[in-house]
Amino acid sequence: MLIKSISWVLVCIYVFIAVATTTAAAQPTPSPFNFDDTLRGTINKDRSWWNVLHYYITITPDFLRKELKGTNKIRYASTGRTNSKMMQIDLQSPLTIDSVIQHGKAVSFIKKGKNTWLIKTDRHKKSNTDSLEIYYSGKPKVAKNPPWDGGWIFTTDKKGRPWMTVACQGLGASVWYPCKDHQSDEPDQGASIKVIAADSLTAVANGRRQAVEKLAAGKTATTWSVVNPINNYNIVPYIGAYTSWTDNYSSSSGNPLALSYWVLDYNLEKATPQFNRDTKRMLAAFEYWFGPYPFQVDGFKLVESPHLGMEHQSAIAYGNGFGNGYRGRDLSGTGWGKDWDYIIIHESGHEWFANNITTKDIADMWVHEGFTMYSEVLFIEYHYGKKAADAYCHGIRSKIRNDRPIVGSYGVNHAGSGDMYNKGAGLIHHIRTMINNDSLFRAILQGMNEEFYHKTVDSKEIEDYFIKKTALPLSPVFDQYLRTTKIPVLEYAVREGALHYRFTNCDPEFAMPVLLDNKPMQEILVNTGWKQILIDHNFSADSISENYYFTKKRVEL
């Protein structure tokens, strides 16, 4: 690593000298993104004119050949924003579009870039709603290390039977079916998935099962449907030797919530107590903090998966081995993460943050992961108390790397740092401490899930919502923690009965109120300039809550 770094420095020096001797003009910095990134991440003229209403996906996976064959009937509405007759559809190589049918006729299409296709649609229809059907086939990208390095999963269970699914967050749903692969456009009227597989296997997917049809040659077609809006990467089939059981939960909505659980047949005995216990504990905590489960009509499912887990809406992927913690470990290192099943709690938290409230661009994915990581803190607080929750949050905060900002680059399908989990949770706890009113904080979380119910948002909308509801100067706080890697340092000194204080290692405009837990309690507004107040000479930095996410440093003046 060191040798590589030194070599890079020498190359940079050489390039600088060469450029300096030829021109004094500034040279543009090469972009790390390419044409395909822009096609995928931007709502261009071939995407903006149409809005997805519904997907009807039919998929036939070939386990032995590791191939897929399928169709997607897309119902859409014209927005009238552009005059383009070309519809951009995303389908990742090596999958290929075979044909497109609209109004009973084949329509032309071309490939643009590596993973994008342009379809020439018929836009002369009197109604502003229309549909077309895309036929596709080929070998999909196979997941190497799901869910992190995702794709289609062809594997076997312990008895050697086929077990298939997909994990594609970030990578994109177009890795297995053709769609408008952008989080800003969810199918408003939901989606249906028909899975054709061997009748010795069971197909499970999002929402509720609509039909099971026996076909020739030992095949079965199983159809599942979601009626709520759903983001593309959450639409997922599971195919394996599943068995199931059902239950219900008395939701705070006033209606019973249908629960169902799907596991491989030989795991039924150990799965039953684990799922029954932590699902209801999760729902009790999260409905208290966030409001009613947001997909009541589609129900709630846990489905055993060959990978660790994913927030597939109304069909949560579960692969944590039916044990507590994160694969048996407490990620916080405090002991408070050992008494509950991490995947059930975390991935279910996404039903409120990622699935109910979805970011338009994955650059803002901290909204998904930060709030969901914080849902773990709130789960602990609901069941074990505030001190336990504080300790857990401090523990996960210690894993923050601050390698790059947690807001990514817009318009190119680029997420920010993995710190979006721990740092995002730390930021929310920090802001909650600033608010200093847990009733208001809870009302804000519930209000978000009402205000942005089944909607797509950007980070600024979430930030503005907090600013409006708290009346606090949070804009520089969000900018500091979301868009830089610098963690502020509160420098202080005590001299002649006065406390002197300021922030360093932060943007010049950074400022925030800080509560001193003295007797009586005092609130001070701290910015980057030295200020002072009269205070007891026995002042201790311990009077400043550890729930704030900044460093405290005593200095001499």
List residues bridging with 219 in a β-sheet: 198
Establish if 36 belongs to a structural domain.
no
pLDDT tens digit sequence for 133-159: 999 999 999 999 999 999 999 999 999
Separation between Cα atoms, residue 277 and residue 271, nearest integer Å: 10
Whether residues 73 and 142 share a domain: the answer is: yes
Whether residues 168 and 228 share a domain: the answer is: yes
In the predicted structure, residue 422 carries a pLDDT above the cut 70: yes
**Peptide bond connecting 147 to the previous residue in cis, omega within 30 degrees of 0:** yes
Domain limit, last residue, from 219, 240, 261: 240
14 by DSSP, 3-state: which? helix
> What mean pLDDT is predicted for residues 508-523?
88
Contact in structure between 96 and 138 (CB atoms under 8 Å)? yes
Whether residues 540 and 423 share a domain: the answer is: no
Establish if 26 belongs to a structural domain.
no
Whether residues 194 and 305 share a domain: the answer is: no
Boundaries of domain holding 374: 253-485
**How confident is residue 18, by pLDDT bands cut at 50, 70 and 90?**
very low
Question: How many CB atoms neighbour CB 44 within 10 A?
Answer: 15
Question: Taking the chain, what is the end-to-end CA distance rounded to the nearest angstrom?
Answer: 41
Token pair of 521, please?
A: 């309690």
Q: Which amino acid is at 471?
A: A
In the predicted structure, residue 373 carries a pLDDT above the cut 80: yes
**How confident is residue 16, by pLDDT bands cut at 50, 70 and 90?**
very low
Q: Sort 14 into a burial class: Cβ within 10 Å, 0-12 / 13-18 / 19+.
A: exposed
- What pLDDT does residue 518 have? 72
- What pLDDT does residue 125 have? 59
Establish if 162 belongs to a structural domain.
yes
pLDDT tens digit sequence for 290-342: 999 999 999 999 999 999 999 999 999 999 999 999 999 999 999 999 999 99
Residues 6 or more apart whose CB falls under 8 angstroms from that of 163 comprise 153, 155, 156, 157, 239, 240, 241, 264, 306
Q: Sort 489 into a burial class: Cβ within 10 Å, 0-12 / 13-18 / 19+.
A: middle
Contact in structure between 533 and 498 (CB atoms under 8 Å)? yes
H or E, element range at 303: strand 300-304
513 by DSSP, 3-state: which? strand
Q: How many residues does the chain have?
A: 557
Domain limit, last residue, from 176, 209, 240: 240
Query: How many whole angstroms from its chain centre is CA 265?
Result: 30
> What mean pLDDT is predicted for residues 369-391?
98
Question: How many CB atoms neighbour CB 18 within 10 A?
Answer: 9
Token pair of 12, please?
A: 């940079």
Contact in structure between 392 and 380 (CB atoms under 8 Å)? yes
- What pLDDT does residue 20 have? 35
In the predicted structure, residue 506 carries a pLDDT above the cut 80: yes
Establish if 293 belongs to a structural domain.
yes
List the strands of the sheet with 202-204, edge to edge: 151-156, 162-167, 238-240, 202-204
- Inter-CA distances, 432 with 40, 92, 321, 511, 525, Å: 36, 42, 34, 16, 16
List the strands of the sheet with 242-250, edge to edge: 242-250, 256-264, 300-304, 316-318, 309-310
- DSSP assignments along 89-111, one per residue: EE--TT-EEEEEEETTEE--EEE
Whether residues 197 and 269 share a domain: the answer is: no
334 by DSSP, 3-state: which? coil
- Inter-CA distances, 554 with 297, 490, 500, 509, 540, Å: 56, 8, 10, 22, 10
Question: How many CB atoms neighbour CB 284 within 10 A?
Answer: 15
Contact in structure between 272 and 296 (CB atoms under 8 Å)? no
Whether residues 388 and 509 share a domain: the answer is: no
Separation between Cα atoms, residue 464 and residue 3, nearest integer Å: 46
Q: Sort 32 into a burial class: Cβ within 10 Å, 0-12 / 13-18 / 19+.
A: exposed
Whether residues 377 and 415 share a domain: the answer is: yes
Report, in this order, helix, strand and coil percent for the chain, each rounded to 5: 30, 30, 40
In the predicted structure, residue 26 carries a pLDDT above the cut 80: no
Establish if 4 belongs to a structural domain.
no
> What mean pLDDT is predicted for residues 416-426?
98
**How confident is residue 1, by pLDDT bands cut at 50, 70 and 90?**
very low
What CATH number has the domain bearing residue 60?
Answer: 2.60.40.1730
- What pLDDT does residue 2 have? 33
Whether residues 208 and 292 share a domain: the answer is: no
What CATH number has the domain bearing residue 386?
Answer: 1.10.390.10
Contact in structure between 179 and 90 (CB atoms under 8 Å)? yes
Q: Total domain count for the chain?
A: 3
Whether residues 180 and 304 share a domain: the answer is: no
Per cent of the chain over pLDDT 90 is: 89
Q: Which of 55, 104, 414 is nearest to 205 (CA)?
A: 55
Instruction: Specify the residue for token string 């909505």.
Output: 253
Per cent of the chain over pLDDT 70 is: 93
> What mean pLDDT is predicted for residues 234-258?
97
Whether residues 67 and 178 share a domain: the answer is: yes
- The average confidence (pLDDT) of the chain is 93
Q: Which amino acid is at 517?
A: D
Establish if 292 belongs to a structural domain.
yes
Establish if 117 belongs to a structural domain.
yes
Residues 6 or more apart whose CB falls under 8 angstroms from that of 194 comprise 56, 57, 58, 59, 221, 222, 223
> What mean pLDDT is predicted for residues 285-291?
98
67 by DSSP, 3-state: which? strand
- What pLDDT does residue 522 have? 86
Contact in structure between 326 and 388 (CB atoms under 8 Å)? no
- What pLDDT does residue 101 have? 97
Establish if 539 belongs to a structural domain.
yes
In the predicted structure, residue 14 carries a pLDDT above the cut 70: no
pLDDT tens digit sequence for 467-498: 999 999 999 999 999 999 999 999 999 998 89
Contact in structure between 554 and 493 (CB atoms under 8 Å)? yes
What CATH number has the domain bearing residue 538?
Answer: 2.60.40
Whether residues 419 and 493 share a domain: the answer is: no
Whether residues 180 and 129 share a domain: the answer is: yes
> What mean pLDDT is predicted for residues 177-184?
98
Domain limit, last residue, from 240, 262, 287: 240
List residues bridging with 453 in a β-sheet: none
> What mean pLDDT is predicted for residues 383-390?
98
In the predicted structure, residue 7 carries a pLDDT above the cut 90: no
